[in-house]
Structure 1
Amino acid sequence: MTASEKPNRTLFDLDLLRAMVMVADCASFTTAAARLHSTQSTISQKIRRLEEMAGHPLLVRGNRDVHPTDAGQLVLGHARQLLALNDQLLEALAGTTVAVTVRLGVPEDFVSEATSQLLGAFNRDHPQVKLEVTSGLSRDLANAYDHGELDLVLVKQRRSSRAAVRCWPETMAWIDSARHPSIDLDPVPLVTFPPRGLYRDDIIDAVEGMGRRWRISFTSSSLSGIQGAVADGMGISLLPARALSREHTVLGVEQGLQPIDSFEIALLHRATADPLVKTLASRLSGLIDQERAGAIT
């Protein structure tokens, strides 16, 4: 009797495997249930059935998230392959090419010509991939990633605030308008992101540390809005050095403003991410390395 002829051989249900992959990617039963248009109890039942079939615990349920056990990592790797093969079979029967969706999140200042060229080259190398790119504030991108809505993100954060695949120090610059400077006004007008936005507290703390009075003159969730407001003389701000334009002038110790070196760029994806997500992450890392090397030289 061959192995394939042995009685009572376990056959894993693809529906159960799909539930396992979704929970692992979302790190949440609730989010996974929503994305699968199911209920949390149903997803939990599917995971229990899969664990019974596997004979091992597959997921560790923590207070805030869910992550796979060693056996779960093994199951996830094979589950992704089986689900991909299933999708390939369905698409082959339909006479079309399998589409793999990669959901990428990047801050506004990374939406550049170089990034577009990189994504275009990646898409040509992997024509089966559908790229969904979201740009916005780092806090919103990180939140979407944590809720399983993005596969790969670049975010700006305080150094070592969370684990990442790669991190790079973020060079910051104090900026004012080149045509209508406002650093000498009293109180000093400040252009910032909204409350809880990155850099806002650092701007206020720095100006107060100078013994200067200040007021919030302009607030925006848009990087371009911040850049334009400073250029038009509405106040000073703190931004990544790459966001400066010829309409800005750089402030520093001569104006009483000390350098800020507490931020970094972080690249995030899950350990269980699809290989194509990891390939794109590697290319983004290379692009950032090249840009930083060019800035240094």
Structure 2
Amino acid sequence: MTEASAATLDLELLRSFHAAARLGSLAAAAEQRHRTLSAISMQIKRLEQALGARLLERGPRGVTPTATGEALLQESRELLRLHDAMLSRFTGRRLAGKVRLGLPEDYARELLTGVLPEFTAHHPDVLLEAVTATSGELARQLSRSQLALAVVLDRPHRLPDGEALWQTSPVWAGPRAGDLTQRPSVPLALHEVDCPYRELAVESLEAAGTAWHAVFTSTSIHAVETAVEAGLAISVIDRERLTPAMRELGAEEGLPALKPCQARLHMARHIDAASRPAVEALAALLRERLQARGPWRALPLA
């Protein structure tokens, strides 16, 4: 009597599938996984054959997960995380190296009090350095590999590749009392150049033919918010950052609609080999906590 062979999933095939689905390109997955394009293509084919289902749709602009592929992404993410954690515990090989992470200041508070402490607790040998800047500046640092990983809004400079994390909710914010929009020129509190929300505000007002002037400019989101609360100016901030001293403004006050932005996760093209496993581990955690939810709707920590 022979024992029936059970089907198993090759974790390396899963990792290549995750990379291709995340990056939207087999070529990009091959570069990240340090394999040839034909090897990645063959791995995806073997995984599809093992599961009896198409996982990726191929198109002229790259690859996108099918419905089955999306389900596999969700269900296998925890499998890979548990495997790596167990291997690390039993072999004594802990993640090490250095990870320099870039964040827009608007979302730093939530990430610094949630996701990042969890990462450092699980990986105490990794030297994590988190820096904040405008998305434009983060994009420049990432292109020069001064950052290993960054969360960047897709304005004012849209970087190639990367993966979507969440859709932001920019709104016009004004002081609770008074109506600054009735002035001949709308007073604005703005960030410096390279800020996505500065670009949104200026672009929207100029398209509507509305006069404006900057009454307060700062690199600090907290300073901009204080200027709004104090009744000095209006600004564009994420809806989640509205305080009791503010109110959301819009069409009733004569302000134009604002386009949403997308927060995307990007990895540098050149990452030190010794640090790459730590960079990928942090990327996986950010993806798990933030994808489709954002920092305010992240899952409770385990």
Pair 1:255 & 2:253 matched: yes
Pairwise CA distance, 1:175: 0.8
Q: 1:189 aligns with which of 187, 190, 205?
A: 187
Residues 142-157 of structure 1: pairs in structure 2 closer than 5 A: 142-157=139-154
Task: Verify: 1:177 aligned to 2:175, yes or no.
Answer: yes
Counterpart code for 2:128: L
| Cross-structure match for 1:127 | 124
1:241-288 deviations in whole A, cap 9, x for unaligned? 233222211011212223322421111014665122111112112222
User: How big is each residue's C-alpha offset from its partner over 1:68-116, in whole Å with a ceiling of 9 and x where there is no partner?
Assistant: x97x9359xxxxxxxxxxxxxxxxxxxxx98411111111122224543
Give, as a single letter, the amino acid of the residue that structure 1 aligns with 2:34: Q
1:212 paired residue number:
210
Equivalent residues in 2 for 1:15-26, closer than 5 Å: none
Query: What residue in structure 2 maps to residue 275 of structure 1?
Result: 277
In 1, distance between residues paired with 2:212 and 2:116? 42
Q: Which residue of 2 aligns with 1:92?
A: none
Shift of 1:173: 0.6
- Per the alignment, residue 202 of structure 1 pairs with 200
How far has the Cα of 1:186 moved from its partner?
2.2
Which segments of 5 or more consecutive residues in structure 1 lack a partner in the other structure?
Answer: 1-66, 76-96
- CA distance 1:295–1:257, change in 2 (3 Å): farther
Q: How far off its partner does 1:153 sit?
A: 0.4
Gap change, CA 1:197 and 1:112, over 3 Å in 2: closer
Whether the aligned pair in 1 keeps the contact of 2:229 and 2:245 (CA below 8 Å) is yes
Question: What does 1:18-37 align with in structure 2 at a 5 Å threshold?
Answer: none
- Partners of 1:208 and 1:172 lie apart in 2 by 17
1:194-243 C-alpha deviation (Å, 9 max, x unpaired): 24432334323433444433222111121112111111112111122233
Q: Would you say how many aligned residue pairs link Structure 1 and Structure 2?
A: 209
Question: Relative to structure 1, is the Cα distance of residues 196 and 136 closer, same or farther in structure 2, using a 3 angstrom cutoff?
Answer: closer
Deviations 1:26-53 (A, max 9, x none): xxxxxxxxxxxxxxxxxxxxxxxxxxxx
One-letter code aligned to 2:152: V
Residue among 246, 261, 264 paired with 2:262: 264
- The residue that corresponds to 1:41 in the other structure is none
Name the counterpart of 1:47.
Answer: none
Give 1:154 shift.
0.5
**Conserved in 1, the CA contact under 8 Å of 2:104 and 2:151?**
yes
The answer to whether the 8 Å contact 2:190/2:224 transfers is yes
| Whole-Å separation in 1 of the counterparts to 2:96 and 2:154 | 33
Q: Which residue of 2 aligns with 1:137?
A: 134
RMSD: 3.3
Distance 2:279 2:127 in 1: 11
Matched, 1:229 2:227: yes
Structure number with bigger Rg: 1
Distance 1:271 1:207 in 2: 37
Distance in 2, matches of 1:275 and 1:259, equals 42
Instruction: Tell me if structure 1 keeps the 8 A contact 2:216–2:227.
Output: yes
Match of 2:287 in 1: 285
After superposition, the Cα gap between the structure-2 partners of 1:205 and 1:106, relative to the gap in structure 1 and judged at 3 Å, is closer
Deviation at residue 187 of structure 1 after TM alignment: 1.9
Contact kept, 8 Å, 1:154 with 1:266, in 2: the verdict is yes
Matched-pair identity in %: 26
Aligned mate of 2:162, from 145, 161, 165: 165
For the 8 Å contact 1:159–1:264, the answer to whether it is kept is no
Instruction: Give me the whole-angstrom Cα distance separating, in 1, the residues matched to 2:297 and 2:280.
Output: 26
The residue number in structure 1 matching 2:12 is none
